[in-house]
Amino acid sequence: MRAFNRTLTRPVSRLPLRRVYVQRAWESTASTATDDEKTGHIAAESNESILWVDTIFPLKLTGLLRTPWQSPDRDLSELLKRSYTSSLGIMDPINTVKRALPRSENMEVNEILPRLKDGGAFVKFSHPADVDPKEIAATISKGLQERPIRPFFSPFRGVHAGLVKGVPWLEDLHRFPYSRLRVEFVPKMPGEEAVELSQEDLYSIFRRYGKIAEITSQPFDSKVVPRFAYVDFALVRDAIMARNCLHGFVVSPESGGGKAGTKLRMSYEERAKGYQFWGWMSNHPRIVFPILVAILTGVTVVIFDPIRNFFVKAHVQRTFRLSNSKLYRWIRRQTSDIFTFRREKSDQAGLNAVWRHRKDLIEQIQKWLMETAETFIVVQGPRGSGKKELVTEQALRGRGNVLVLDCKPIVEARGESATIKQMAAQVGYRPIFSWANNMSSMIDLAVQSTTGVKAGFSETLESQLQKILATAASALSELDVSGRKKTDIDAQLPVDAYLESHPEKRAVIVIDNFLHKSEGNAIVYDKIAEWAAALVQSNVAHVVFLTNDSSYSKSLSKSLPDRVFRQVSLGDLSPEVAKRFIVSHLEGDDEPVTVIEDDADEPAEKALKPKQQVNMRELDACIGTLGGRLTDLEFLARRLRAGQTPKQAVAEIRDQTASEVLKMFLLPGGSKSDEGRHWSVQQAWYLIKALASEDSLRYNEVLLSDVFAADGEAALESLSNAELITVKNLNGRPHKITAGKPVHQAAFTQLTKDDVLTAKMDLVVLAELSKIEGRTIEKVENELALLGGLPRQPAEAAGRVKYLLSKLQASQAKIESYDQQSAGLKKVLVNQY
């Protein structure tokens, strides 16, 4: 130990008035290893050997010293040099090395080279020539086993020491210790031959440094040189000990190193444990993807479904609506005298007259909502007849838990994501990730293209709509029984039985604009109808359908085939009710219009007065022209409030309607964007011209006309959906065709009074009829040519030939007549503007 102390504290000369630093063992580390030689290897003389002492520094400390401009070991040397004068006690790493080495006359420590990255230090010592360094190393190891030295950061593993047999490489690269060693087999000298060691030989060499978990040899057919093997240790400290002691070690021929010997060159290799899981996942997509789908579904059910259920309830109960808050209602009551809403007041006054007229229908709907019948309530009527206002504002006034589902924005949405988003908005279903459907489809397509199996991430539009409606049904069911108390007599009844006995507790679902566009959106209507039928049959809710389509029974009968629907038909108002609506609308204004009974023209100066005057006789005549459509009457009332006379207002409404009909139905390309168009311009003009002279047309008579000879029923149904005409039924069959709206009758008459337009459209119709007759003649001529080609004319074919000739003559006569009429129409187009 005297030699060890002599090495650590070498005597220095005493120089007055001058501070002299004592050169320590670690000061030579940096200079010897990196400054002078810069080879990264420790040079040892013939009587010198090297020990590796581990567990001197914690391995985790390496990450704190990853400076890009210096090595961690140089930083450590500077740190030890600065803190040498302080008493660190057990925390002093040099003190730990001093305690690990025995007191012996056979060794003298020359240098200590700390290796912070490996958590230990190299100790270079000299010994007598007759002393084997292996004995010194064995003595040190035995002493450490008998008297373990455990640093504060390693309470379970003590300090270990091992003799360095190879040539350690003191590199400061960013390569950090791992439990796996890559052992390369290289020749001792360049040009010589190296051999690959067997696993048995590797085990005998490395086992003394710690527990070996696995030895993996290089595949025999691998072309990678030099040959190598992986040695996996159970502990990282054991791998560090083996690497620092055996790096550069030459395996002798007796130990399996070949004729010239084989040098071991080692490096740390990160074991890819974390990637085995991902590798297994990528290799088993048929198992992994269904599991992932199940996990995602479970997370959605556990986390998002309760949130969506809450928002659906809030949407039905209008919890977050400002108009339902007590503060808003109080402010509105206090400021009702200050802020007046003239339009709302006048509009409501006009509607009151309509509700008084339809009071029996309102009461009928309210009675049906109190019954337990499992059926739909259908309110059918043309657009503008006030279906929604009748149900939501009158029949359901004061009733809670009302859900209004408008089909129009859903079916008009473009794309599946937009459709899902609109459906969710109608029922209050949020949060909704509509964009995730497109991403899921892309992922599903990629997985299917690579594995051949559909992952099931993407969901169809049908399944998405079904999920939204199922959540809404669950929320409505909970709302129905939310007011039930445990003290009630029937509190123990099941939910179905309880709601059957209490129909007033059920929620009401109003499905507006049902069959708004029947073409291309059948899946939306089918899902809504199936959902509504399930709610009705389970006594969860009453369902009221509001539709313009008179053929609604075809769609609803699929959902409830064994039920008779409760139907309410709303038509146009009668002239008396329409007149009361206009008068009430005007009298409800803050500046009411004066109503006069005579039809004398008023002086011009009266037109400048604030209060306008309305002639009732003139109004009666205008209402007869305008009809009883609610929206048209409101339009007329607004124009009268603006100061127009009834004749002026109706004339403008008629002209505007005529322009819309001309644009939508008669001009070429007017409705090409409509996917449900199954009619032609000639068919539309035929009906317009016929209805201009007659109030109604016989349905079958129209079908027998030449214009509707090809697929006439589809054309009439399409024109009815476009509201150009109205097809009325009798005993379940169509029997009469009228104008789509009463004002259309006047618009048709207005269009037919235009000689140029009439001549142009008649010319188009005649051209189409001529084509039809031309095709008929072509078929007749082909058949006659076939009969004429027979070698002998049978007597039985004479009747057929006579029939074809007469048909040919009739078609030719029609074409000549059409040509004569077309010539007269062309003169009109040439002579008139």
Q: pLDDT per residue over 390-411, tens digit each?
A: 898 888 988 888 999 999 999 8
Is the pLDDT at 707 greater than 50? The verdict is yes
Of 711, 657, 713, give the one whose Cα is nearest residue 688: 657
Tens of pLDDT, residues 737-790: 998 888 888 899 999 999 999 999 999 999 989 999 999 999 999 999 988 888
DSSP 743-758: HHHHHHHHHHT-HHHH
- The residue whose two tokens read 């990678």 is 224
d(CA 270, CA 180): 6
Residue 41, SS3 per DSSP: strand
* Token couple for 770: 């001529």
3-state DSSP percent of the chain in helix, strand and coil, to 5: 50, 15, 35
* Token couple for 430: 């949020």
Q: Enter the pTM of the model.
A: 0.60
Choice among 257-271, 487-501, 592-606, 785-799 with the minimum mean pLDDT: 592-606
Residue 389, SS3 per DSSP: helix
Of 664, 760, 773, give the one whose Cα is nearest residue 719: 664
Q: How far is CA 175 from CA 41, 117, 233, 716, 802, in A?
A: 17, 9, 17, 83, 106
* Token couple for 392: 């939501």
Task: Count CB atoms within 10 A of the CB of residue 612.
Answer: 20
At 16, is the pLDDT very low, low, confident or very high (cuts 50, 70, 90)? very low
d(CA 406, CA 404): 6
Q: How far is CA 584 from CA 352, 387, 395, 598, 609, in A?
A: 8, 20, 21, 19, 21
* Token couple for 30: 């940096």
At 280, is the pLDDT very low, low, confident or very high (cuts 50, 70, 90)? confident
d(CA 187, CA 193): 5
* pLDDT greater at residue 759 or residue 104: 759
At 439, is the pLDDT very low, low, confident or very high (cuts 50, 70, 90)? low
- The residue count for the chain: 833
Amino acid at residue number 224:
V
Tens of pLDDT, residues 527-550: 999 999 999 999 899 999 999 877
* pLDDT greater at residue 287 or residue 440: 287
Amino acid at residue number 615:
N
Amino acid at residue number 82:
R
Asked if residues 237 and 55 have their Cβ atoms less than 8 Å apart, the reply is yes
d(CA 829, CA 833): 7
Of 20, 22, 21, 25, give the one whose Cα is nearest residue 7: 25
At 488, is the pLDDT very low, low, confident or very high (cuts 50, 70, 90)? confident
* Token couple for 140: 């040190």
Is the pLDDT at 503 greater than 60? The verdict is yes
Of 559, 553, 159, give the one whose Cα is nearest residue 380: 553
**What local confidence, expressed as pLDDT, does residue 18 receive?**
32
Compute φ and ψ for 507, nearest 5 degrees: -70, 160
Q: Quick one: average pLDDT of 473-495?
A: 83
d(CA 125, CA 8): 12
At 264, is the pLDDT very low, low, confident or very high (cuts 50, 70, 90)? very high
Tens of pLDDT, residues 561-615: 888 888 888 877 777 787 777 877 776 555 555 555 544 444 433 433 344 556 6
Is the pLDDT at 181 greater than 80? The verdict is yes
d(CA 573, CA 628): 4
Choice among 150-154, 436-440, 450-454, 665-669 with the minimum mean pLDDT: 450-454
DSSP state of 662: I
Tens of pLDDT, residues 222-234: 989 999 999 999 9
